[in-house]
Amino acid sequence: MSNDWIPAREQDFTDLCQKWKTGLSETANIAAFGWNQTEVAAVLGAVDAFLTARAAYEADNSTAKRIAKDEAKGAATTQMRGFANTSIRYNKQMSDEAKLFYGIRPPDPTHTADTAPQTYPEAEGNTATLRQVSIHFWDSATKKRGKPRHVHGAEIRWAILGQPPASIEELTHSDFDTASPFTLTFDEASRGSRVYFCLRWESSTNLKGPYSEIYSATIP
């Protein structure tokens, strides 16, 4: 099963978790879809833990709260993927519409062979919010916001460095986003430092396009 149904952008993942919490909490759904109550409870527990940790991080974006939130997100992702594989994707008691509620897309009958992206993202960093850099990106060929057709999203490589990197390999952090913008959040101690970043498109089957130039922004 492809993992692309799990949103890379955290706000999208949070929204999906809210939908899962609503759907899994409905006793009628458990009966109608033949779900195992114990498995449902385990997924709900992980989803609730992430939503709680995310709310705590939004109230206090300290390093400790971010680590707790990221750990809870990883645990929720694991539980959701496992449950999707065993109880949603191939569940004949669920309609395509019901599966879409949980982010599981039905097979595309008109699917064509995937190819690696030929263009690359152009980007700029918005520093209007303290301790955040929002990376807005668009396609180099069309100059339009968003991603090209048949592209799943953009890989964002980044790092805080004291001087411009000599190569992309120095950008040691890697994130993925399916919709512009992508926001990096930093601690108070990082203010005034310079973050460098570049992007490349990636298809739904993980075929990767060329990297953009390396951009930079000062953390406000």
DSSP string, 181-194: -EEEE--GGGTT-E
Give the confidence band of 112 by pLDDT, cuts at 50, 70, 90.
low
Mean pLDDT within 122-132:
96
Say which amino acid occupies 131: R
pLDDT in tens, 84-110: 989 998 899 999 999 999 999 876 555
The pLDDT score that the predictor gives to residue 4 is: 61
User: CATH: 3.40.50.150, 2.60.40.10, 3.40.640.10, 3.30.360.10. Which one for 121-218?
Assistant: 2.60.40.10
pLDDT value for 5? 78
Distance CA 123, CA 144 (A): 11
Q: Whole-number mean pLDDT of the chain?
A: 90
Give me the pLDDT at residue 150, please.
81
* Confidence label for 2 from pLDDT (cuts 50, 70 and 90): very low
pLDDT at 80 exceeding the cut of 80: yes
Q: Of 32, 21, 199, 24, give the one whose Cα is nearest residue 124.
A: 199
Q: State how far the Cα of 207 lies from the Cα of 201, in Å rounded to an integer.
A: 8
The answer to whether residue 111 scores a pLDDT higher than 60 is no
Instruction: Provide the 8-state DSSP code for 2.
Output: -
Confidence of residue 134 (pLDDT cuts 50, 70, 90): very high
For 135, the enclosing helix (H) or strand (E) is strand 132-139
pLDDT for 107 equals 64
Region 202-217 average pLDDT: 92
d(CA 180, CA 169): 23
Which DSSP letter does residue 204 get? T
State residue 143's pLDDT score: 86
Instruction: Determine the Cα angle at 165 with ends 160 and 169, to 5°.
Output: 90
Please list the residue range(s) of the chain that carry CATH number 2.60.40.10: 121-218
